[in-house]
Chains A and B, each alone.
Chain A
Amino acid sequence: MSGEHNEQPKKSVFRKEMSRRQFLSYTLGGSGAFMVGVPLLYNVRFAVDPLLKPDADGEYVKVVEVSEVTQEPQSFQFERLIVDGWYKNDTTFEAWISKDESGNIFALSPVCKHLGCTVKWNGSQDFSDEYFCPCHAARYTKDGKNLTVAPAPLDEYPVKIEDGWVYLSTTKPNSRV
């Protein structure tokens, strides 16, 4: 490109070899890429670190005594230590816990799968024995199956029963419906 002012081409014989100018350009490109690439590599890996960290599997947290759980879903609150980078905090979570027909205890997350509002058992007088979301009237069955509006069933907390207490872990997609 800027070769016109260097000198007249000494040899007019066309060869397939790499020209001096090409060599210089490649070296320039290579060293430039090295100088930009290496620092960028470290920095980008630093920035995307949260993507590459494995999700911490939530430990089971003691929530309520088994004897308190009934066929009718009840809301229980519990605290879990959330480690958010340098910020550690006990965050309160809510779970709707009930027994199914065969007496197995299960727990549902109150977060509506439509737009993330909070659902409530018997939240509307018009629909009894259903979870109801006040935002857009999404409804779910007792098992969390989505009836209207919401695209997916309510998330479920894995449940563990130990020494007469219900322990809950972190939410996962509903496995009941």
Chain B
Amino acid sequence: MLKKMYNWIDERLDITPMWRDVADHEVPEHVNPAHHFSAFVYCFGGLTFFITILQILSGMFLTMYYVPDITNAYKSVDFLQHEVAFGVIVRGMHHWGASLVIVMMFLHTLRVFFTGSYKAPREMNWVVGMLIFMVMLGLGFTGYLLPWDNKAYFATKVGIQIAASVPLLGPYIETFLQGGSITGAQTLTRFFALHVFFLPGALFALLAGHFIMIRKQGISGPL
């Protein structure tokens, strides 16, 4: 039955080559920790992606309860963490995952750096990787404000002050990030929009570029 359905679609869209290309492409043995244990350092990229997927998943589910509004944001986070079944786990997944994804990405960056894998012809992929790094830091910064507790509020104020110290453009950046002259209701909705739509959008585009380039260029050879 499934096979028939698959064949029906395959006849029309010719999907077999697409997944066969992904499934059958060859990967060098030297990145597989089963062959050389030290090759576990090559796992951090994949783990970063895995945690990112978990972040997207838990983030989507969290928005079922969360409201980006200064009177209700805190209450809704408190509610979803303490009143909803597994809320503490779903929020925990998103909270600790945010740290873990930074750790994994950092280790991945160090691996690529110390194995010299960013060298020609893979310079562009390194640059895209660094952009992903910055988008992730942006996601961390914008996400930190959303629970609207004291820690979130004051850390964001400090962060915005840092951005405001940029010469010439500083005051404009400050007003843009705050959505006004104070850190308040408009800041929260802005950070929510950035955290949930704009930055993930940029992240998806960059990730796609990252993966396409890996396929095009292959994994760098053994040292």
Instruction: Give A residues with C-beta under 8 Å from B.
Output: 1-2, 5, 35, 39-40, 42-43, 45-47, 49, 52, 85-87
Contacts and interface: CB of A to CB of B under 8 A. Distances in A.
Nearest to A48: B85
A47 B61 contact: yes
Given A1-B23, A43-B61, A86 B93 contact: no
Contact of B87 (A5, A39, A46): A46
A86 B50 CA distance: 32
B72 A87 contact: yes
A84 to B, nearest CB: 10
Given A45-B86, A46-B86, A85-B76, A39 B93 contact: yes
Interface residues of B, number: 24
Contacts of B64: 46-47
Given A86-B72, A86-B76, A46 B23 contact: no
Interface of B: 20, 23-24, 50, 54, 57-58, 61, 64-65, 72, 75-76, 78-80, 83-87, 89-90, 93
Contacts of A85: 65, 76, 79, 83
Contacts of B83: 85
21 contacts: A1-B24, A2-B24, A35-B50, A40-B57, A43-B57, A43-B58, A43-B86, A43-B93, A46-B61, A46-B84, A46-B85, A46-B86, A46-B87, A46-B90, A47-B61, A49-B84, A49-B85, A85-B65, A86-B72, A86-B76, A86-B78
A39 B54 contact: yes
B65 A39 contact: no
Contacts of B85: 45-46, 49, 52
A2 B23 contact: yes
Contacts of B78: 86
Contacts of B89: 42, 46
Q: Which 9 A-B residue pairings sit nearest by Cβ, starting from the closest?
A: A86-B75, A86-B79, A2-B24, A43-B61, A46-B90, A46-B86, A49-B85, A49-B84, A42-B86
